[in-house]
Chains A and B, each alone.
Chain A
């Protein structure tokens, strides 16, 4: 019982600190709260006893921990209601969670390099924009088609270059990203550099996402609609990624990442699995791109340029390649932090780049490394039972 309360207390404490850090007005207050969070994390990590206690309690009370985290995530807009801006930033972080899960499936799990994340997000976004504005599709229908277009274009691009590997794949995806951007910038029907404006917003049961919702008698900023939708989307995608990772498909993707020839010899269809991972990943990325289009109501080429592909890459490397909770952590750190420290905003990409280099050199498995897959030893307590049961990253990897 103590463990259960402890888990919730840890989550609540972290939540309070994060909200305080986000809403603090004076720079000194911001600095203090962020420093407090960082110090606490370092202290917890260095103390073996505290860390061990946390790892065991989170593992034994996993359902409770997830429930607590979900409750707090649902409650977040109420605490941020004074600031639509921060609600928007939180929504962006959730979009990056969605994108990160997609890219992580490709690069982390399957080892298929994709350096055109922004272009695939752009495919989703532009499809939504073109279908609704130019062709008058219903927003929900367009929103459903957008990610499919990203997936299909990705597959069409991928089929001919299946034989191409490693470095060449990096080249082809970078080239694809550039081609996408040049085309969007120069074609007539995509609006050229101006992009597509006035993309209609989504409506759910007659409630437009641009009107401020009132929940439990509290009026939230209109961005809260998108926050909740993005939360649902990120949660769904993360759950799907988790199930995939723990299935035979996830294991197969890992084997062909680690040794393609050995995988082939063991009867794995390399082509089919790579294509599968690439397509599902692009579906997730395109989904987030489409969501971005309906949220902002506007897409233009600079929203999807190469720099954003690199930001997406930073999210998964910082969190930990192949680590599903790592992606969530990476997105929740990388997206809000530069917004919080506006004076650092100019240095944002420089710091991202330096952070990736340092992570790769000194902690290549990321902040929240992927755990070791465990098989055949019976189910660890409290884990999701599936063919492949994975130990939680916390604790095991230390």
Chain B
């Protein structure tokens, strides 16, 4: 049994990871809610967001943008826009044309699209095979409360992540486009009859989900100070796992699942000898157990099958 402060520290770290996972998971769950598809290249869209953010920081450096807060804001906005548009492109290329095909086709197509994105980053980004250092753009410094170290930058990361989630919640529940998203999620045909523009709603959903993945990507870069072209595989699988634990199609479930997954990982690292190597094994094993006993997830509804 590790000492209490280690557990608390790991739980806090898990919360940090969990926020990033939750942001990815929300994307998975939005796509599933609206179109009933799993967008398997979402993990690589997340990588793309991180790389877009990194490139933009270089751009600001070259232009000579001095103010770090403005640079950070512009990095986020630029990467969000870029990644969101690429997400819409991915949907137009691989998801919508296969909407009528068996689900296996969409799964395979998006999985392969993810491979294409990943390899494209590896090949076309300068020295893409190496891990890329991500500049520290957040205030440095730390607090120590009862043996638990809390860095300022981690608090900012948490705040940005939480802010993004609140924003998404507001968009979904308080805006017109959010209302059409909910309508399409309930019944696409009925929504269309009531005058909802299906294509635009789907496009917006993919824009929103991909932009969230970009937020997660940049936060990931800020947290680890390093990004790598391969991180999307793990990011995607964890994000999907989190969405599945929470209940696919449910935004709050995805957030809960993401946090749970992050905490699970870090606690596994704390409790199990050589746990940092096996933390993913533990986390995935828990996901599998979840799938067996509660396949609809924590907040998922029970689905009744068509006959």
Binding site for B on A (CB under 8 A): 107, 111, 113, 115, 160-161, 163-164, 166-168, 170-172, 174-176, 178-179, 182-183, 185-186, 261, 306-307, 310, 313-314, 317, 346-347, 349-350, 352-354, 356-357, 360-361, 364
Contact = CB atoms under 8 A, between A and B. Distances in A.
Contact of A313 (B93, B111, B292, B307): B111
Contacts of A317: 108
Interface stretch (B143-151, B166-174, B210-218, B281-289): B281-289
A306 B94 CA distance: 21
Contact of B112 (A174, A186, A356): A356
A185 to B, nearest CB: 8
A175 B288 contact: yes
> Interface of chain B, helix or strand or loop or mixed?
helix
B278 to A, nearest CB: 7
Contacts of B277: 182, 185-186
A171 B101 CA distance: 20
Contact of B307 (A261, A314, A350): A261
B126 interface: no
A160 B290 CA distance: 11
B109 A178 contact: no
A306 B116 contact: no
Taking chain A's interface residues, is the majority helix, strand, or loop, or is none over half, making it mixed? Answer: helix
Interface residues of B, number: 46
Contacts of A178: 234, 237, 280, 284
A354 B93 CA distance: 12
B293 to A, nearest CB: 9
Given A164-B291, A261-B305, A349-B115, A364 B105 contact: yes
B244 interface: yes
Contact of A167 (B38, B94, B278): B38
Contacts of B123: 346-347, 350
Interface in B95-149: 97-98, 101, 103-105, 107-109, 111-116, 118-120, 123
24 contacts: A115-B111, A164-B291, A167-B103, A168-B295, A170-B107, A171-B237, A171-B291, A172-B287, A175-B241, A175-B284, A178-B234, A178-B280, A179-B281, A179-B285, A185-B277, A310-B115, A346-B123, A347-B123, A350-B123, A353-B112, A353-B116, A356-B108, A361-B97, A364-B105
Contacts of A168: 244, 291, 295
B103 A166 contact: yes
B240 interface: yes
Scoring B38, B111, B280, B306 by chain A CB atoms within 10 A of each residue's CB, the highest score goes to B111
Given A347-B123, A361-B98, A364-B105, A352 B115 contact: yes
A354 B116 contact: yes
Interface in B200-251: 233-234, 237, 240-241, 244, 248
B302 interface: no
